[in-house]
Structure 1
Amino acid sequence: MSAESHCALELLDIRCTFRSKDDAGQRYTAVADTTLRIREGEFVSVVGPTGCGKSTLLNVGAGLLAPSSGTVKVFGEPLVGINARAGYMFQTEALMPWRSARDNVMVGLQYRGVSDAEAAAQAEQWLARVGLSGFGDRYPHQLSGGMRKRVALAQTLVLEPDILLMDEPFSALDVQTRQLMENEVLDLWASKKRAVLFITHDLDEAIAMSDRVVVLSAGPATHPIGEFTIDLARPRDVAEVRTHPRFVELHTQIWNVLRDEVLKGYAQQRLKVA
């Protein structure tokens, strides 16, 4: 059996081209000729300069954006429409401010036709699993940033997705809360071994959490320019693993590939501002 047959998500020769809003005749290629495979149970992080197209690829994998060309496969089948086997955790949590933590976690189950009683029971179980037992009646404005992220994580995982798509979910958190959430995700991932596609600007975070790190070039027409296997032992504590000599070695190797692309990205951003 080929390696591809064990893939949860495949982005094959993906190209995404957009028409500029400023000039109807101008087209912009955000992603070009990109192939990315995530095997079942694998945790893959994608890093690259700001604005290079990382989130675009995540949206393609979620079925929220149809590529201009190329194919998306989910467990070997071509993706048509929304990826129903994926859960998407956004950079900004998509919590409804008028609903309690429990009700926010319940909502996806209710849309699927699960009874209110069963949905509430499952929501409470997941709130407990993310360390929020007893907080089900709190509203988002009554929770800290880290607690809201935990609710968002429970909201995503309660649907038992086979693939987890995460778009810089912890970037707005302080360092201590961020590390707690990273370890929480790793513990929950280890218990079910879902396929994870994780987008981050933080190279330390990518190495600490992943089985593989993919480096994207600066845009336009971003594409993978490096791929690194993270051969650090699991389970990992994201704070402790950073002191491991192999972590330092991997960081140096990946940064050597990423550094020039980051500088290109900054230069392009400055031109846009100017």
Structure 2
Amino acid sequence: MHALELNDVTVTFRSREERGQRYTAVAETTLKVGAGEFVSVVGPTGCGKSTLLNVGAGLLQPSAGEVRVFGELLAGINRRAGYMFQSDALMPWRSAIDNVMVGLQYRGVSDAEAREQAQSWLERVGLAGFGDRYPHQLSGGMRKRTALAQTLALDPDIILMDEPFSALDIQTRQLMENEVLALWAAKRKAVLFITHDLDEAIAMSDRVVVLSAGPATRPIGEFAIDLPRPRDVAEVRGDPRFVELHSRIWSVLRDEVLEGYAQQLKKAA
């Protein structure tokens, strides 16, 4: 059974620039993530990657098509999914441990139990001694670790990640990628991961899906990543198979990136 299915999904918005006009961000797209599978989606800037993630989260209703979660038709918020945003959603007035606790508290977990679970997750992401720090007292990597603990503490069956490491320096980013892979390997949750970084997608994933340039984006390529696990995201880049996969995927993605770039220039003109 697939953990998450987007079947023939189309998403259309009303244009802000031209009243009455409609803009189709995603057209007739089918995307499936198996239970325990790590799937990355890559595509040009503005092609609709985050739109698909929001549809899978139940934050955005498709104009056409359907979403299924473990076979059940999704209506409303996807409560079996955890969402890690590009910008961390930490509350600045709450300490790190209080931020991790908040989702558990909303679910009715007692304060004592929520604190115990939150502390355990902070330890798992390497922040055992930082629970009393506030977001402004944490580095960018520490905030990302806190956000990761906040997401995983809810023990979601599906993890949705929207370019979560894009703002980090390369060394911190690779540490976070390896931490995510280690945590994922422990429980094998279904992951749908959005990224602009093709190296990151190949290094982390079981499968990489390539989207076309927008408007009306759609999948134009799908590649199984047969690199052995466990993986170190820095070391695996030197594997000849990694280089081969990168070349194959980039041959599909390159023209779409150029098309997307041309569209961005046209809008800016």
> Which of residues 185, 206, 219 is equivalent to 1:224?
219
Provide the TM-score with structure 1 as the length reference: 0.98
Is 1:70 matched up with 2:70?
Answer: no
Deviation for aligned residue 1:77: 0.3
Deviation for aligned residue 1:22: 2.1
Q: Which position in structure 2 is the counterpart of 1:206?
A: 201
Query: Which 4+ stretches in 1 moved above 4 angstroms?
Result: none
Q: Which position in structure 2 is the counterpart of 1:243?
A: 238
Q: Which amino acid aligns with 1:202?
A: D
Task: Give the distance between the partners of 2:21 and 2:90, measured in 1 at CA.
Answer: 37
Instruction: Give a deviation string over 1:56-113, Cα, whole Å, max 9, x none.
Output: 0000000000000000000000001000000000000000000000000000000011
Q: Which amino acid aligns with 1:74?
A: V
What is the aligned-residue RMSD (CA, Å)? 0.4
Partner secondary structure for residue 136 of structure 1: coil
Is 1:163 matched up with 2:163?
Answer: no
Q: Which position in structure 2 is the counterpart of 1:175?
A: 170
> Which of residues 122, 131, 139 is equivalent to 1:127?
122
Partner secondary structure for residue 23 of structure 1: coil
Is 1:153 matched up with 2:148?
Answer: yes
Q: Which amino acid aligns with 1:146?
A: G
Task: Give the distance between the partners of 1:232 and 1:114, measured in 2 at CA.
Answer: 40
Q: Which position in structure 1 is the counterpart of 2:181?
A: 186
Task: Give the distance between the partners of 2:113 and 2:40, measured in 1 at CA.
Answer: 34
Provide the TM-score with structure 2 as the length reference: 1.00
Structure 1 residue runs of 5 or longer lacking an equivalent are 1-5
> Which of residues 11, 26, 50 is equivalent to 1:16?
11
Q: Which position in structure 2 is the counterpart of 1:61?
A: 56
Task: Give the distance between the partners of 1:19 and 1:206, measured in 2 at CA.
Answer: 32
Deviation for aligned residue 1:23: 1.7
Is 1:101 matched up with 2:64?
Answer: no
> Which of residues 44, 47, 56 is equivalent to 1:52?
47
Number of residue pairs the alignment of both structures matches = 269
Task: Give the distance between the partners of 1:110 and 1:211, measured in 2 at CA.
Answer: 34
Q: Which amino acid aligns with 2:224?
A: T
Task: Give the distance between the partners of 1:253 and 1:10, measured in 2 at CA.
Answer: 26
Structure 2 residue runs of 5 or longer lacking an equivalent are none
Instruction: Give a deviation string over 1:197-217, Cα, whole Å, max 9, x none.
Output: 000000000000000000000
Task: Give the distance between the partners of 2:13 and 2:135, measured in 1 at CA.
Answer: 36
Task: Give the distance between the partners of 1:14 and 1:23, measured in 2 at CA.
Answer: 24
Q: Which position in structure 1 is the counterpart of 2:261?
A: 266
Task: Give the distance between the partners of 1:23 and 1:52, measured in 2 at CA.
Answer: 20
Partner secondary structure for residue 151 of structure 1: helix
Partner secondary structure for residue 251 of structure 2: helix
Q: Which amino acid aligns with 2:126?
A: G
Task: Give the distance between the partners of 1:119 and 1:165, measured in 2 at CA.
Answer: 22
Q: Which position in structure 1 is the counterpart of 2:78?
A: 83
Q: Which amino acid aligns with 1:38?
A: V
Deviation for aligned residue 1:24: 1.7
